A and B are shown apart, each in its own frame.
Chain A
Amino acid sequence: MKTFEYITPETIDEALELLGEGAQILAGGTDLLGEMKRGLATPKRLINLKGIQGLADIRSIPDGFLTIGSLATLSHLAEHPLVAQHYPLLIEALQRTASPQIRNIATVGGNLCQRPRCWYYRHSAFPCIRKHGEGCFAMGGQDRYHAIFGGHRCFIVHPSDLAPALMALDAEVRIAHADDSRIVPLTDFFVGPRDSLTQENILTRQEILTAIRIPVPPDNAYGTYLKVSERKATDFALASVAVSIAWLDTQVTHARVVLGGVAPVPWRVKQVEEMLIGDELSGKRIERACERAVDDATPLRHNRYKVALVKGLLRKALHAAHRSREKGEK
C-alpha cells in the first residue's frame, strides 16, 4: 500500500472541501483497505469521517422518519431499540451480513457505497471496462456469481444485504455537497451499467452520503430478508430477497419486493409488487408472482441457478408473510 495523507475533519463542510482529485472518504474502511492493498484504489489523501459529530447518530425525528447517520456501524444499527421495534427486516439483513468483527467497523454508508465484488474487477490482471479498460471478462468466463438482471456490457451484482432491505422500506438518502444537501430515494441512488460503467451510485466526487432516512412502515407490515449463500456465514448472497407486505383485512395494500445478489443494483421488482396489491396472498398468486419475478431474467452460462433461487426465496418469503397475517403478527 502506498503512503497517504490522513485527515480527520470536524464537520461535513470541512470534509467536502477536502474532496478532490486523489482524495477518498474513509468510513469504516472494511472495503477500502482491501482495495488499497490490491492497488485498486490509490488515494493520496484519506478523509476520515469518523471524527464528525453526529454523523453516526440514529434517531427518530418528529416527521415520523428514522434517521440513520451514514457513519453508524452495522452493529449499532442492529442493536438500536428503534430498529428492533419498527424494522425487524433490517435486523434480519444485518445478521446475514459479514461477521461480528466486520459489522462492528463497517458503516451503513460504506455498505451502500461498497465497490463490486466481481473477481475480475478486484484482480489486477484483468483490465475490464469498469477499471477504464475494455470488455467484461465474466462474459464467456467465470460468470457463476454474476448478474441475471440488468447487465449491460458489465455483469456485476450489488453485494449488499442492507441495500435491498432498506429499499423495501422506502428508504431515502441525504447527500451533502458544498453548502447544501439533497434527499434522493434509495431507488434512484444506485446506478446500473446502462447509465455508467464506472460508478455504482449517483455520488459525484464532490458529494458525501450523510444519512439514510426510513419512513415508519405501514400498520401491520410484515417484512423479511432471506438469503442463500454457499457458506452459512460471511458469504455474499447468491441471491436474496427483501419483502415488505401490509394488509387491510385479507387484501394486500402495500408490497415491496427487492432482490439482492442478482443485478448490478438492488433489483426492485415493481411488476411483482403490482401483481400482489389488491388481492389475497394465495398460493396460486404467490406462484405467479415468483414466475413474474424472473420472466425477464437473462442468465449467463453458469448462473442460471439464480433464477431458481430467486423463485424459491420469493416463494418462501411470501408464504411466511401469509402465515404471519394468519397469526395476526406484525
Chain B
Amino acid sequence: MSEHWLLGKRVPRPDAIPKVTGEAVYTDDITFPGMLYGAVVRSPYACASIRSVDTSRAEQLPGVRAILTPTNSSLFSTEILYAGQKVAALAATDPHTAQEAASLIQVEYQRHRAVFDPIRAMSRDAPVVRPSRSQEFNNVCSHQRKERGDLETGFAQADIIVENTYRVGIAHQAYMEPHACVARFDVSGKLTVWTSIQGQFNVRASLASMLGMPVHDVRVIAPEIGGAFGGKTSLIMEPIAVVLAKITGAPVKIVMSRQEEFIDAHPGPGCIIHVKTAARQDGTLTAEWAEIIYDTGAAPGAPTGNFDRTRGLYRIPNFRYDIYSVYTHKLIPGAYRAPGALELTFAFESQIDHLAGELGQDPIEFRLKNAVDEGDLTVDGKVYPTIGLRESLHQAREQIKAVEHKPHRGIGVACGKWMNAIGASGVILTLNEDGSVNLTSGAVDLTGVNTVLAQIVAEELSISLDQIHVQTRDTDVAPYAALSGGSRTTYGMSLATQNAVRQLKKDLFEFASQHMPVSPEAFTVADGKVVPRDGSHTGIPIRELARIAMYSARGPLTVTGSASDPSWLADSYIFITQVAEVEVDPDTGEITVLRVSSFQDVGFALNPMLVEGQIEGGIVQGLGWGYLEGLVFDKGVVLNENLTEYKIPTALDAPELVPVLIEIPSADGPYGIKGVGEPSMVVTPAVLANAIHDATGIRLTETPLVQDDLSTRQGPLGNM
C-alpha cells in the first residue's frame, strides 16, 4: 500500500531501547523495603487427600512471617487432583529462607487411584476426576459435535479411505520469564499488584471479587512481560501473594521457579485424534470423520471451542467431528498460541498428505483441488469472503519448483487457518502543548503493538514518529482493554486508535476553522500542519494549534477511542501454507530441518519487521511443540521439569526461515490488517511430519516427532 508513508514500513520498536540497556522493568525487578518472598508447597502425588499439615518446623525458622494451609485458607484444598497442586504457602524475609521453610512443612497424604491417559479416563471403570458431562463415558468435561451431510453416503462415494490416530503431547509455552507477581496494600487498604500477565483488567476483576473489594480499590500494573504466548492469561500466584500481603502487612513477591512452571502452569493441551478421511480417485474429498479428545487435566482448561476457527480449509460435503475434553489427574492446560489449533492441524494435514500420497497426487495439487474459496462455507456454515488459501498454495508451489533436489532430502507442505479476535480495546489520545502526542493504552504490549499504534497516529496526523509517545498504563489510569492475545491486540487496538485519531483530527479541524477562513470539512494534514485541501491558506502547525487550544476556552485536545465486537472474533480469515525442507543423515538417520517457508495472509503488514518476527517466532515454537517438546509423566509426575530435559529449540535447531507476507485485506480490519500473533505456529508440526515422510517414507503420527522417529524408524525397523 504505497499511499502510506509510515504504515507498512519496517520501524524499530521504541521499547527496544530500555530492553537493550537493561533498564526495562519486569515484575521480578521490582522490590520494596521490607518486602517478603513467597514460596509454595506442592503435592508430590497425583490423587490424594491431605490428612494433616505440620508447619511447626517451618514456623521456627527465623524470617518466616506467615504460613497458609488448607486449615486457615480457602486458597488450598485438602483434595489433590494432580501432582504439583499447591497445598500450602508461606512468606519469609528472603527467597532462600522461603524455600527452606517450604521444605520443612510436612504434609501427610492418603493416596487414591489415579488416571492419566484420557482414553483410559473415559472408560466406565476409570477413577473419577470430576463428574462427567456424558452418560456414556467417565470424566468428560465437554463434548461438541459438528456435522454436515451424511457420513455413510460420503464414505460410500469414496474410492479410498485413510484412517489414522494421531497423538499430540502436552507442550509448555516456555516463555523465558517465569510467572512473577508482587502484592502490596497501602495504608488506606488499597491493593496494588504488579504481575506478569496478558490482561490487567481480568486480574483486577478477579482479585476484587475474591477480596470483596470494589474494583477501583484494586490497581493492577503489568510491567514489561517476558513472553506469554497464551500462558499468562489467568491468575496463578496473585491470590496467594495478595493474602500473604494482607496478613503480614508487608509487600509480598512470588516468582515461580522454572520447575514450578513445568508442573503447575497452563501448558498447551495434549490431544488424541482418530480420523478417517475419504476421497474419490480423482482426488475430490467426499467425507471426513474424527473423534478429537483433548486432555484437560484436573479441571476445565483445554480450549475446545476453536474448531471452526482453525478448520474448514477444504470442501468436504459430509463430515462429523466429535470434540471432547476429558479430565485426567494431571495439571490443567490452557491456551498456547492459537489454542487447540496446532493439535488439529497436525492430524488433519497429515491425513491430507497421506491421502494425496495414496492417490499418487502432488500434495499441493491435491489441496488446490479441494481448497475452499470465496463463497464456500465454513465448518459452522458462514460464507467465506475473499481469502488467501489458494494464493498461499500457489506461492508455495513456485517456491518448491525452485528447490534443488538433493539426495537424503524431503520436502513437505501443510496448510492452516486461524481467525483473530477483536476484544474490547480503548485508548486515550492527548495532544501536548508542543504538538507531541501521548497515547495511553491498557493493553499489555506482547507483540510490538505500541510501535504500530505510534505509526498509525504519526501517519494519520502527518507528524514524525518520535513525536508520539505510547504507553501501556495500569488499570487506574488506562481505558479498559481485553487481554492481549488471540492475535487481537494490534487489530483491536489499531481500530480504537484509528477511531481516536480521526476524532482528534475532527476536533483539530473544528478548532482550526476558528483560526483560518476555512470550514472544518475542507481541512487535511500535511507535514505536521493543518492545511486546507485547496491550498488557499498556508496552514497552521499542529503544534501551534495545540498550544493555543490548551490556553484558550477550547482547552486541551484529548480524545478517546474504542473498539469492540459482540462476537469476540473478527471476520478475518487467515490462511497459511508452509513448506519444510529436511535432510536425513544416511548413517545415523538424524534429521536436520533445513528451511521452513511460510506463506501467510496478513491482510496488511503495518510493520513488516514486527510481522516477520511474529511469524519466525511462531514457526520455531511450532518446530518445538511438533519436533522436540513434550512433558513426560510417570504416575502423573512431570519428569522433565527443567530446560535441560524439556527441549526447546536452541540457536542451532532453528532452521533457515523464510516468511512471505501475502496481503489480502480484511473487510473490517483497520487498514485491512489481519491478526498475525498466533497462526504461524499451527502448521509447523504437520509440515515437518510431511517433509519427514517425503524423505524417509515413514508417516510419523506422534509428537515430539524426533522421538517418534527414533522409536519408529530406528527402533523396530532397526536397521539404519
Residue numbers of A with Cβ under 8 A of B are 1-3, 39, 117, 119-120, 123-126, 137, 141-142, 144, 226, 228, 230-236, 238, 302, 304-305, 307-309, 311-313, 315-316, 319
Q: Please pick, from A126, A231, A302, A312, the residue contacting B652 in the complex, using a CB distance under 8 A.
A: A231
- For B712, give the chain A residue with the smallest CB separation: A305
Do A231 and B653 have beta carbons less than 8 Å apart? yes
Nearest Cβ in chain B — how far from A323, in angstroms? Answer: 13
Question: Which single residue of chain B is at the shortest CB-CB distance from A98?
Answer: B644
CA distance A126 to B103 in the complex (A): 16
Interface size on B, as a range, is: 35 or more
B587 in the interface (beta carbon within 8 A): yes
Known: A119-B632, A312-B588, A315-B587; 12 extra A-B contacts, CB below 8 A, are A1-B96, A142-B639, A230-B628, A231-B653, A232-B650, A232-B652, A304-B711, A304-B714, A304-B718, A308-B718, A312-B587, A313-B588
Decide: B710 and A233 in contact? CB cutoff 8 A: no
Asked whether, in the complex, the Cβ of B634 is within 8 Å of the Cβ of A231, the reply is: no
The interface residues of chain A, by DSSP majority, are classed as loop
B: which residues have CB within 8 A of A?
Answer: 44, 83, 96, 99-100, 103, 585, 587-590, 592, 628, 632-634, 637, 639-641, 644-645, 647, 649-653, 706-707, 710-711, 713-716, 718-720
Flag if B639 contacts A119 (CB, 8 Å).
yes
Give the residue of B588, B634, B713 whose beta carbon is less than 8 angstroms from that of A142: B634
* Contact count A vs B, C-beta below 8 Å: 94
Please state if A308 and B100 are interface contacts (CB–CB under 8 Å): no
Give every chain A residue within 8 A of B641 (Cβ-Cβ): 123
If over half of B's interface residues share one DSSP class (helix, strand or loop), that class is named, otherwise mixed; here it is loop
Q: Which residues of A contact B83 (CB under 8 A)?
A: 125
Q: Which residues of A contact B592 (CB under 8 A)?
A: 232
Contact of A2 among B100, B644, B714 (CB under 8 A): B100
A230 neighbours in B (Cβ, 8 Å): 628, 647, 706-707
**Closest Cβ–Cβ distance, residue A300 to chain B (whole Å):** 11
State whether A119 touches B645 (Cβ < 8 A): yes
14 contacts between A and B (CB under 8 A): A117-B644, A126-B637, A142-B632, A230-B628, A231-B649, A232-B592, A232-B650, A233-B651, A304-B714, A305-B710, A308-B720, A309-B720, A312-B585, A315-B587
| A1–B96 alpha-carbon span in the complex (Å) | 7
What is the bound-complex CA distance between A2 and B633, given in angstroms?
28
Which residues of chain B have C-beta atoms less than 8 A from A137's C-beta? Answer: 634
Q: Which of B647, B651, B707, B714 contacts A308 (CB 8 A)?
A: B714
Distance of A1 Cα from B641 Cα, bound (Å): 18
Does A120 lie within 8 Å of B639, measured CB to CB?
yes
Whether B639 pairs with A238 at a CB distance below 8 angstroms is no
For B716, the chain A residues whose CB sits under 8 A away are: 304
| CB-defined contacts of B711 to chain A, threshold 8 Å | 144, 302, 304-305
**Is B720 touching A311 in the complex (CB atoms < 8 A)?**
yes
Query: What is the minimal beta-carbon distance from A42 to any residue of chain B, in angstroms?
Result: 10
- Bound-complex Cα distance A233 to B645 (A): 12
- The answer for the CA separation of A3 and B96 in the assembled complex, in Å, is 9
Chain A hits for B587, CB < 8 A = 312-313, 315-316, 319
Q: Are B650 and A309 in contact (CB under 8 A)?
A: no
Is the Cβ of A308 less than 8 Å from the Cβ of B589?
A: yes
**Cα A231 to Cα B627 with chains together (Å):** 10
Given A305-B711, A305-B715, A308-B714, decide whether A233 and B650 contact each other with a Cβ distance below 8 A. Answer: yes
